[in-house]
Amino acid sequence: MDENLASFTIDEQNPSCLHCRGNWVGADLADVEKHINRRKLPNNITQIDVSAIDEFDTVGAYTLMCLQQSFARDIALVGASDEVKALLALVQDKRHTYSALRPAQEKNPVTLLGKIAVTRFGYALSLLAFIGEIWCNIMRLFSRRSHMPMKQFFATIEITGVQALPIVGLLTFLVGVVLSYQVSLELNKYGAGIFSVELIGLAILREFGPLIAAIIVAGRTGSAYTAELGAMKINEEVDALRTFGLSPNEYLVLPKLLGLLVTFPLLAVWADMFGVLGGMIMSKGMLHLSYYEFLSRFAKTVAVKTYFIGLIKTPVFAFVIAAVGCYRGFQVTQGATSVGRQTTLSVVQAIFLIIIIDAVFSIIFSWRGM
Amino acid sequence: MDCPAIEISQLCKRFDTNWIHKDLSLTIPQNQMVAIVGGSGCGKSTLLKQILMLEAPTSGSIKLLGCDCAKASEQALREVRAKTGVMFQQGALFSSYTVLENVAFPLKLFTKLSRKLINEIALFKLSLVGLSQDVAHKYPAELSGGMVKRVAIARAIVADPKLIFLDEPTAGLDPESAADFDDLLLFLHKSLRMTVVMVTHDVDTLYKVPDKIAFLGEGRVLAFEPLTTLRQNPHPLVQQYFSSARTIRAETAL
Ligand SMILES: Nc1ncnc2c1ncn2[C@@H]1O[C@H](COP(=O)(O)OP(=O)(O)O)[C@@H](O)[C@H]1O
Ligand SMILES: [Mg+2]
């Protein structure tokens, strides 16, 4: 292959003639192109001899044309076969210069900032509009003017609820174990190990159970909603639904949202159970507190109120996860990258909102002295 | 290189218990335009996938440009791939790249040319398939169906392949665009001297474009001949295929 590499040399007898030889095809032309671009060619060239070119394709033709035009005057081609001539003519006929058409890019930072602000504001508005539409649909559902596909609703319950049980249970169990370990380690120093029961109970029931469950569900279900709706949008399935007179919002979003509203509070209860179980098992190891002692102290010191304060947040979390997930899914515009970007945004924003809402709840509760 | 462009011998392929190809042999010489036809579900797409090394044959061998796909080294396969271009039925353009980046993609992959030259060649190929410069910076989602097909074929031919595969190139196009596309294929074939293999159901295309037609049925190639002789072929599947009203209409229109 090597001796057939594309190249050009100056004729030794006739210094005004350039000889091209080898295979002038795509993959082999990089050196030739560099050579041309270096513009070290003598000025007295008047003709190019192409009779020694073996294979020739359009990339070769393009390069040959560049070579020919790198001199400031007309250069004659000699020894061109019909094939070379035909391809050269084709290239010359249809050529375009690249530099001419790059779209102008905005450079002024103030304009850029303004544009970003306007798009962000647009996002916020459209999210509000989306949530409004969801509420309208829920209202219509209760006034029996629309109906939801029950099959999807129950499928959502199975996928987001039943199938999430093992992972939610395992992770909150481990959080309970870790929490109990740290708490009893410290409290034991003061001989106050028994108080770890209240601490674990409060922390798990009020905060960690619902919060951990929300984070897992945001990563598991919110992302799935976004990817599913996004792919449906790219496939024009969403448009197909519209042509049947169905609102995608009603047909696709409602079952997902209502399904999650049913399953998420239950998942939080499940998380509470396993968190406390983890704490209980660890307490036995660390503090030699028997299960009976743990549970009876738990019942005496942890008020039922705590449990309900934890649970009252869960429908809000579920709504946020489902709404953000679906909204992001509908924001997918084109192609696979867009699905990836929106899925990332969906999870990040859902978790962000959940933590903010959790903080807001804490402030409200402390303000009401709960 | 005088070896045939494609040499398939005794190819067998099955999915579970379902035999798609049984002892299929087909040799396509270089510089020909060949259409693969056959009833729906007879395994045309599966055959194409095996030729493109996307699906492994159950048994038998496929040689592309003299290189046995099953036995060749990575390096040899890479060379073969650089010499083949594929246009998928849905275009399969990369949705996150602009039209120009899509078309320039194979050149960036297979050559070490400068970015400027690559872009210019990509633009040249775009105008070769009849697209204006305005589309170069659009994204695939912003194109019409016909434009997507044109961009797809521009991407398939950009690195001057010796061999190009087209899966239903004119499906889903309006009759005028389809006719334009047929002309485009003929023009590209003539000016770039490629072997063209296409799967098509479009009777108008069959009349106008290919030199020879490979008729698939019963898991093998029932006939491999020009359309005029294929029409006289007595095999019942062939007769059935060409006896439909649409074919007759296309014939009388000719
Ligand atoms: N991945 C696969 N798994 C199982 N069966 C398949 C697969 N791909 C194709 N088939 C079967 O192979 C047969 C031929 O399919 P295909 O090649 O797509 O037909 P066509 O000629 O219409 O393009 C069909 O019956 C199809 O069901
Ligand atoms: Mg098919």
- HEC profile of chain A: CHHHECEEEECCCCCCEEEEEEEECHHHCHHHHHHHHHCCCCCCCCEEEEEEEEEECHHHHHHHHHHHHCCCCCCEEECCCHHHHHHHHHHHHHCCCCHHHCCCCCCCHHHHHHHHHHHHHHHHHHHHHHHHHHHHHHHHHHCCCCCCCHHHHHHHHHHHHHHHHHHHHHHHHHHHHHHHHHHHHHHHHCCCHHHHHHHHHHHHHHHHHHHHHHHHHHHHHHHHHHHHHHHHHHCCHHHHHHHCCCCHHHHHHHHHHHHHHHHHHHHHHHHHHHHHHHHHHHHHHHHCCCHHHHHHHHHHHCCHHHHHHHHHCHHHHHHHHHHHHHHHHHHCCCHHHHHHHHHHHHHHHHHHHHHHHHHHHHHHHHHCCC
Q: Is the CB of B89 under 6 A from ligand 1?
A: no
Q: Is the CB of B83 under 6 A from ligand 1?
A: no
B41 token code pair: 């579900």
Whether chain B has a CB inside 8 Å of the CB on A338: the answer is yes
According to the model, what pLDDT value does residue A1 have?
45
> What is the residue-level pLDDT of chain A in tens, covering all 370 positions?
456 777 777 777 777 777 777 777 777 777 777 777 776 777 777 777 777 777 778 788 888 887 777 777 777 777 777 777 777 777 777 776 665 556 667 778 898 999 999 988 998 899 899 999 888 888 888 887 667 788 889 999 999 999 999 999 999 999 999 999 999 988 888 888 888 899 999 999 999 999 999 999 999 999 999 999 999 988 888 887 887 777 888 889 999 999 999 999 999 999 999 999 999 999 998 888 889 999 999 999 988 999 999 999 999 999 999 999 999 999 998 778 889 999 999 999 999 999 999 999 999 999 887 7
Which CATH superfamily does the domain covering A7-101 fall into? STAS domain (3.30.750.24)
Contacts of A90 in chain B (CB under 8 A): 128, 191
Question: What is the B15 CA–ligand 1 centroid distance (Å)?
Answer: 8
CATH 3.30.750.24 residue ranges of chain A are: 7-101
Whether chain B has a CB inside 8 Å of the CB on A340: the answer is no
User: Is 90 exceeded by the pLDDT of residue B73?
Assistant: no
Note down the domain range covering B135: 31-57+73-253
Is residue B180 assigned to a domain? yes
Question: What is the A330 CA–ligand 1 centroid distance (Å)?
Answer: 33
Q: Is the CB of B40 under 6 A from ligand 1?
A: yes
Which of B30, B65, B117 to substitute to test the interface with A, most A CBs within 10 Å?
B117
Is residue B11 assigned to a domain? no
User: Where residue B107 sits, what CATH number does that domain have?
Assistant: 3.40.50.300
Is residue B243 assigned to a domain? yes
Helix axis angle, A165-189 to A209-217, nearest 10°: 140
Whether chain B has a CB inside 8 Å of the CB on A35: the answer is no
According to the model, what pLDDT value does residue A101 have?
57
Other residues' Cβ atoms within 10 Å of the Cβ of residue A354: 23
According to the model, what pLDDT value does residue A214 have?
96
In ligand 1, the atom with minimum distance to the C-alpha of B40 is 22
Helix axis angle, A304-312 to A209-217, nearest 10°: 20
Among chain B residues, the shortest Cα distance to A340 is held by: B96
User: Is 50 exceeded by the pLDDT of residue B6?
Assistant: yes
Is residue B104 assigned to a domain? yes
When pLDDT is cut at 50, 70 and 90, the band that residue B126 belongs to is confident
The per-residue pLDDT for range B194-216, each reduced to its tens digit, is 888 988 887 778 887 888 888 88
CB contact under 8 A, A95 and B191: no
Neighbours of ion ligand 2 (CB under 5 A): B 45
pLDDT > 90: what percent of chain B?
1
Specify the DSSP class assigned to residue B141. Answer: G
Choose the closest CB to A333 out of B82, B121, B141: B141
Is the CB of residue B91 less than 8 Å from the CB of residue B148? yes
Which residues, 6+ apart, have CB-to-CB distance to A180 below 8 Å? A196, A200, A278, A279, A280, A282, A283, A286
Question: What is the B86 CA–ligand 1 centroid distance (Å)?
Answer: 19
Domain count of chain B? 1
CA of B105 vs chain A CAs: smallest distance (Å): 13
The per-residue pLDDT for range B127-176, each reduced to its tens digit, is 888 888 888 888 888 888 888 888 888 888 888 888 899 888 887 777 87
pTM here is 0.70
CB contact under 8 A, A30 and B112: yes
According to the model, what pLDDT value does residue A116 have?
92
Q: Whose CA is nearest to atom 6 of ligand 1?
A: B15
User: Is 70 exceeded by the pLDDT of residue B187?
Assistant: yes
Question: What is the A98 CA–ligand 1 centroid distance (Å)?
Answer: 43
CA of B97 vs chain A CAs: smallest distance (Å): 10
A139 token code pair: 């209202």
User: Is 70 exceeded by the pLDDT of residue B1?
Assistant: no
Contacts of B98 in chain A (CB under 8 A): none
The per-residue pLDDT for range B10-67, each reduced to its tens digit, is 888 888 888 888 888 888 888 889 999 888 888 888 888 888 888 888 888 888 888 8
Q: Is the CB of B94 under 6 A from ligand 1?
A: no
Choose the closest CB to B120 out of A27, A90, A97: A97
CB contact under 8 A, A98 and B191: no
